[in-house]
């Protein structure tokens, strides 16, 4: 299977979107500081969870049902009516509990939260329909548009002096732009939904919702817990660290997206050996970016965080922990992907439940006990527990091999990279916000990445084969190998 070619468009658009977000975040961090970013991150976490409540798995159900039925737009309007009804309830709840919400966030944001919730739900509805209509290529390119448009509006409003309000309104604008383009592409004709359409949506959503909760639990629960127990400035620093970790998770996400239809197809055909092979292949490369990321986070994490501003350097102590948690989560995600591909959402539901409960309990307990570092430790521990649960659950239904040799080679290559990078860091100037320091950090990171890839290419025949199979140009083989 050519993983790189299958996931190429999504991976490229994800990288483009992350690059836009990375540059914009540096600007906001330097202009607004950690405290305002903390308020912003807490408000986003609140909207994220309200959005999950507003969808309860319906976006996945809409995609699934629209992709398999001739009366697909009846499912669209059924889903839209349910989501709209839930939004009304949530909006009333925000208005009723506005004092508590504003006190939790630290600023008066309840009206903007309602606006953001509208934007999130509209975007989710129309993008689910795009995927259901097999317009995945359009869905893929909307993400850079969404993030790029959001960044431009946010920068303009921050320059106008709106600060937190401008950040939140700009965020809503990005979602609405994406939803508007999707709506224009779809132009959904009205088809009156029947009771059957509602029932089939709910039947799928009752399992699908927990998958959405699982993903947001991993990336948002610690922010919510920190928002209640530590200062907004520390939440802002922590959110920047998470932004870096999210960048490293892109490659694993692209792999699982590319693998799922292949796993599902071969399972339908009864080709379980092929499914096992694909699972092993996914695990072999799930940590390809994250493993060197952990070594790099230990060695140059302070330098990378200094790009955002010196006050964010404090995050260097939680960065390696969160990167380790992200690595465990990436492996966990591949195993869950296989379970869903085997059409066992019931088992994935139970494994997700284990991960979610452990994440919430660990974050609350450890943050209360040892402070903000506990959030990173709790996230990593819950990812490890979820990985163990998924491994044993899948092992009862599929015999697959663990690619331990390939993973070990990646660690050896990453350590070799570290052996080259560390001496360099001792000779260069200390990290700072200056352009010179940023250029030095970029050179160190780029050089380390080259060392890692070259060493791994020399060590791993399997990696060489994958590169040759997916490269846009022909790479000659060395005679005798």
Per-residue pLDDT, averaged over 212-236, amounts to: 81
Q: Please provide residue 21's backbone torsions phi and psi, each rounded to the nearest 5 degrees.
A: -65, -35
pLDDT value at residue 434: 87
More confident residue, 199 or 478: 199
Q: What is the CA radius of gyration of the chain?
A: 23
Cα–Cα distance list, 105 to 49, 51, 425 (Å):
14, 17, 39
Round the average pLDDT of the chain to a whole number and report it.
86
CA atoms within 13 A on the CB side of 181: 17
85 pLDDT band (50/70/90 cuts)? Answer: very high
Closest among 55, 210, 202 to 118, alpha carbons compared:
55
More confident residue, 217 or 263: 263
3 pLDDT band (50/70/90 cuts)? Answer: very low
CA 172, CA 195: separation in Å to the nearest integer?
Answer: 33
Per-residue pLDDT, averaged over 468-478, amounts to: 59
The answer to whether 325 touches 287, Cβ cutoff 8 Å, is no
More confident residue, 102 or 13: 102
pLDDT tens for each residue of 168-190 = 999 999 889 888 988 898 888 88
246 pLDDT band (50/70/90 cuts)? Answer: confident
pLDDT value at residue 129: 86
Per-residue pLDDT, averaged over 375-403, amounts to: 93
For the record, the structure tokens of 162 come out as 């709106």
Is residue 422 pLDDT above 90, yes or no? yes
Is residue 76 pLDDT above 80, yes or no? yes
pLDDT value at residue 5: 47
Per-residue pLDDT, averaged over 435-447, amounts to: 93
pLDDT tens for each residue of 298-343 = 999 999 999 999 899 999 999 999 999 999 999 999 999 898 778 7
pLDDT value at residue 14: 67
SS (H, E, C) the chain: CCHHHHCHHHHHHHHHHHHHHHHHHHHHHHHHHHHHHHHHHHHHHHHHHHHHHHHCCHHHHHHHHHCCCCCHHHHHHHHHHHHHHHHHHHHHHHHHCHHHHHHHHCCCCHHHHHHHHHHHHHHHHHHHHHHHCCCHHHHHHHHHHHHHHHHHHHHHHHHCCCCHHHHHHHHHHHHHHHHHHHHHHHCCCCCCCCHHHHHHHHHHHHHHHHHHHHHHHHHHHHHHHHHHHCCHHHHHHHHHHHHHHHHHCHHHHHHHHHHHHHHHHHHHCCCHHHHHHHHHHHHHHHCCCHHHHHHHHHHHHHHHHHCCCHHHHHHHHCHHHHHHHHHHHHHHHHHHHHHHHCCCHHHHHHHHHHHHHHHHHHHHHHHHHHCCHHHHHHHHHHHHHHHHHHHHHHHCCCCCCCCHHHHHHHHHHHHHHHHHHHHHHHHCCCCCCCHHHHHHHHHHHHHHHHHHHHHHHHHCHHHHHHHHHHCCCCCCCCCCC
Is residue 6 pLDDT above 70, yes or no? no
Under 8 Å CB-to-CB from 452, ≥6 apart: which residues?
292, 413, 414, 416, 417
Full-prediction pTM beyond 0.75?
Answer: yes
380 pLDDT band (50/70/90 cuts)? Answer: very high
- First-to-last alpha carbon distance for the chain, in angstroms, is 21
pLDDT tens for each residue of 116-172 = 999 999 988 988 888 777 676 676 677 777 888 888 899 999 999 999 999 999 999
Under 8 Å CB-to-CB from 223, ≥6 apart: which residues?
41, 42, 44, 45, 235, 238, 239, 242
pLDDT value at residue 327: 97
pLDDT tens for each residue of 24-41 = 888 899 899 899 999 999
CA 47, CA 120: separation in Å to the nearest integer?
Answer: 8
Is residue 480 pLDDT above 90, yes or no? no
Cα–Cα distance list, 329 to 41, 114, 409 (Å):
22, 31, 20
1 pLDDT band (50/70/90 cuts)? Answer: very low
């Amino acid at each position: 299977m050519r993983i790189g070619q299958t996931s190429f468009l999504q991976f490229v658009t994800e990288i483009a979107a992350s690059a836009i977000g990375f540059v914009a975040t540096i600007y906001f961090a330097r202009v607004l500081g950690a405290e305002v970013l903390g308020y912003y991150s807490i408000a986003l976490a609140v909207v994220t969870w309200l959005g999950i409540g507003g969808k309860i798995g319906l976006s996945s159900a809409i995609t699934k049902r629209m992709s398999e039925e001739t009366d697909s737009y009846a499912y669209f309007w059924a889903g839209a009516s349910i989501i709209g009804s839930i939004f009304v309830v949530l909006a009333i709840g925000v208005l009723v509990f506005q004092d508590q919400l504003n006190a939790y966030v630290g600023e008066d944001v309840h009206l903007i939260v309602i606006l953001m919730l509208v934007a999130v739900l509209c975007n989710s509805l129309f993008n689910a329909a795009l995927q259901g209509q097999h317009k995945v290529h359009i869905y893929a390119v909307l993400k850079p548009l969404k993030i790029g448009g959001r960044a431009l509006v946010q920068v303009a409003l921050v320059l106008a002096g709106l600060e937190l309000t401008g950040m939140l309104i700009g965020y809503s604008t990005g979602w609405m732009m994406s939803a508007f383009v999707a709506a224009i592409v779809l132009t959904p004709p009205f088809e009156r939904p029947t009771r059957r359409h509602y029932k089939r949506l709910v039947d799928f959503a009752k399992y699908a919702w927990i998958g959405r909760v699982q993903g947001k639990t991993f990336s948002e629960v610690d922010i919510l817990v920190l928002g209640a127990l530590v200062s907004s400035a520390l939440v802002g620093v922590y959110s920047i660290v998470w932004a870096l970790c999210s960048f490293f998770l892109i490659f694993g996400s692209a792999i699982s997206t590319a693998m799922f239809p292949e796993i599902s197809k071969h399972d339908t055909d009864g080709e379980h050996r092929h499914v096992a092979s694909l699972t092993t292949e996914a695990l072999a490369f799930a940590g390809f970016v994250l493993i060197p990321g952990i070594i790099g986070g230990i060695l140059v994490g302070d330098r990378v965080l200094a790009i955002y501003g010196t006050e964010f350097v404090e995050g260097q102590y939680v960065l390696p922990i969160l990167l380790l948690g992200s690595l465990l989560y990436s492996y966990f995600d591949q195993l869950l992907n296989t379970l869903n591909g085997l059409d066992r959402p019931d088992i994935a539901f139970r494994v997700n439940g284990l991960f979610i409960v452990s994440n919430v309990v660990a974050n609350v307990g450890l943050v209360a006990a040892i402070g903000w570092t506990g959030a990173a430790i709790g996230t990593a521990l819950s990812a490890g527990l979820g990985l163990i649960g998924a491994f044993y659950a899948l092992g009862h239904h599929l015999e697959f091999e663990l690619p331990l040799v390939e993973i070990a080679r990646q660690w050896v290559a990453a350590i070799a990279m570290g052996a080259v990078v560390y001496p360099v860091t001792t000779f260069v100037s200390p990290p700072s916000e200056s352009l010179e320091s940023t250029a030095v950090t970029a050179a160190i990171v780029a050089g380390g990445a080259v060392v890692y890839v070259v060493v791994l290419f020399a060590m791993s025949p399997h990696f060489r084969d994958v590169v040759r199979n997916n490269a846009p140009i022909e790479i000659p083989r060395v005679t005798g190998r």
